[in-house]
Structure 1
Amino acid sequence: MTDIALAFADDALFADIALEGGDLATDDGLRTAVIISLFTDAPARADDPLPQDGADRRGWWGDAGNDDANDRTGSRLWLLERAKATSDTATRAREYAQEALDWMVADGVAASVSVEATLFRPTQAAPQAALRLSIVIYRPSGVRVAIDILWDAEANRILSTGVTA
């Protein structure tokens, strides 16, 4: 599976199409699929607490045409944008990320996907709280892909991403 590559600009709130030498960059290492899966807003469930009372329940417009109402693109990580840096927030982030990436196994893109979430509290050296999502994907061929994302949930900003195979 080859995608047009997406990349986060430093301190950006969004990913953009990556270019290499004036051409569109491609990605067959699942990084772009993970970015889309985690940072496209899935709709909030009826029982999800919203970051602000009366807020939009969001969701990606492209899901409107899906035959299966459970076939949704994105994650509910956006629900954490005003969450305090607690172990409960890390647990919810792990659950939301795992849920958003489970399609890879169902569609045969991966044999397994596991997610760990680690919370970093502010210190003098790093004044913002951050959440590290460590994702390990095993392809059906057995190839291991590890993706680490350091995310400042309060500012809803990606601090860094890394991929190792």
Structure 2
Amino acid sequence: MAVVDGRLVTDDGLRTAIEISLFTDARAREDDPLPDNGADPRGWWGNAFRPSEDAPEELGSRLWLLEREKLTAANVERGRTYAADALAWLKRAGIVSDLVVIAVALGRTTLALGVEVERPEGPSRDRFDFVWEASLAV
């Protein structure tokens, strides 16, 4: 979904699925260092309600773990990995046949993510670009 000329318009769902997957908080793993030495592993509450064992795995990404982190080369790679992990379900579910995530630093506080996907029904590739900026340390 998007807003164009002040009106809400729909897309074919792929961009929306990517946005939700990237920008919904996934629960931190046991070995993830939490921002500010916190104790809250966060995560989306809806992941607690899986209708069946066959339902897709948890939704969301761990990008939030980069809050308050310096935007070093290692953290840019962490961001790329977190995004790729969050989107992997699209390939497992057969929604896309190929998926590539590119991450670059824009300045000192902004992480840019490029997501390239190939759909199973054709050779054309789609690219979606996102900017993530969330109180990254300077």
TM-score (norm 2): 0.85
Query: How far apart, in 2, do the equivalents of 1:47 and 1:21 lie?
Result: 43
For 1:112, give the aligned amino acid: D
RMSD of aligned alpha carbons? 2.1
Once the two structures are superposed, the pairs formed by residues 1-165 of structure 1 within 5 Å of their partners are 5=1, 7=2, 18=3, 24-28=8-12, 30-66=14-50, 67-68=52-53, 71-122=57-108, 129-142=109-122, 143-154=124-135
Query: How far apart, in 2, do the equivalents of 1:119 and 1:146 lie?
Result: 18
More strand by share: 1
Structure 1 pair 70/83, CA: closer, same or farther in 2 (3 Å)?
farther
Query: How far apart, in 2, do the equivalents of 1:139 and 1:42 lie?
Result: 25
For 1:146, give the aligned amino acid: R
Query: How far apart, in 2, do the equivalents of 1:111 and 1:70 lie?
Result: 17
Gapped regions of structure 1 (runs ≥ 5) = 8-17, 123-128, 156-165
More helix by share: 2
TM-score (norm 1): 0.72
* Contact residue 131 and residue 153 of structure 1 kept, 8 A: no
Following TM superposition, the consecutive aligned residue runs of length 4 or more in structure 1 with deviations greater than 3 angstroms are: 18-22, 67-70
Gapped regions of structure 2 (runs ≥ 5) = none
- Residue by residue, what CA displacement relative to the aligned partner does 1:44-71 show, whole Å, maximum 9, x if unpaired? 0000000022331111111112244981
Report percent identity of matched pairs: 49
